[in-house]
Amino acid sequence: MRNYLHWVFLLGLLFALVLLILGDDGAMIDRLSTHEFSSLAINVALAVFIGAIVLTLFRERISKALEAGLFWTVIALVLLIGYTYRAELREIGDRVLAELMPGWAVTRGRTVEIARSRAGDFSVGAQVNGARVAMVLDSGASAVVLTQEAAKAAGLPLEVLTYTVNVDTANGRTRAAPVTLDRLAVGGIIERSVPALIAPPGQLRTNLLGMSFLNRLESWEVRGDKLMMRGYP
- Write down all domains in the chain, each with its CATH number in brackets: 2-84 (no CATH), 102-230 (2.40.70.10)
Which amino acid, 229?
Answer: M
* Measured distance between the N- and C-terminal CA atoms of the chain, rounded to whole angstroms: 66
* Mean pLDDT, all residues of the chain: 78
Q: Is the pLDDT of residue 226 over 70?
A: yes
pLDDT digits (tens, 9 = 90+) for 71-116: 777 777 777 777 777 767 666 666 666 566 666 788 888 999 998 8
Q: How confident is the model at residue 51 (pLDDT cuts 50, 70, 90)?
A: low
- Mean of pLDDT values over 143-164: 94
**Pairing status of strand 219-223 against strand 106-108:** unpaired
pLDDT at 58: 59
CA distance 92 to 179: 37
CA distance 124 to 107: 13
For 25, residues 6+ apart whose C-beta sits below 8 A from its C-beta are none
Find out whether 173 and 213 touch, Cβ atoms under 8 Å: no
- The percent of residues in the chain predicted with pLDDT above 70, rounded, is 62
> 184: which strand partners?
128, 191
- Mean of pLDDT values over 42-46: 65
pLDDT digits (tens, 9 = 90+) for 210-221: 999 999 999 999
Cα-to-chain-centroid distance, residue 68 = 32
Most confident of 45-49, 65-69, 88-92, 175-179: 175-179
CA distance 48 to 66: 16
Element containing residue 199 per DSSP (H, E): none
pLDDT digits (tens, 9 = 90+) for 15-36: 555 555 554 444 444 444 555 5
Q: Is the pLDDT of residue 153 over 50?
A: yes
Find out whether 153 and 133 touch, Cβ atoms under 8 Å: yes
Q: Is the pLDDT of residue 185 over 80?
A: yes
CA distance 191 to 142: 16
pLDDT at 55: 61
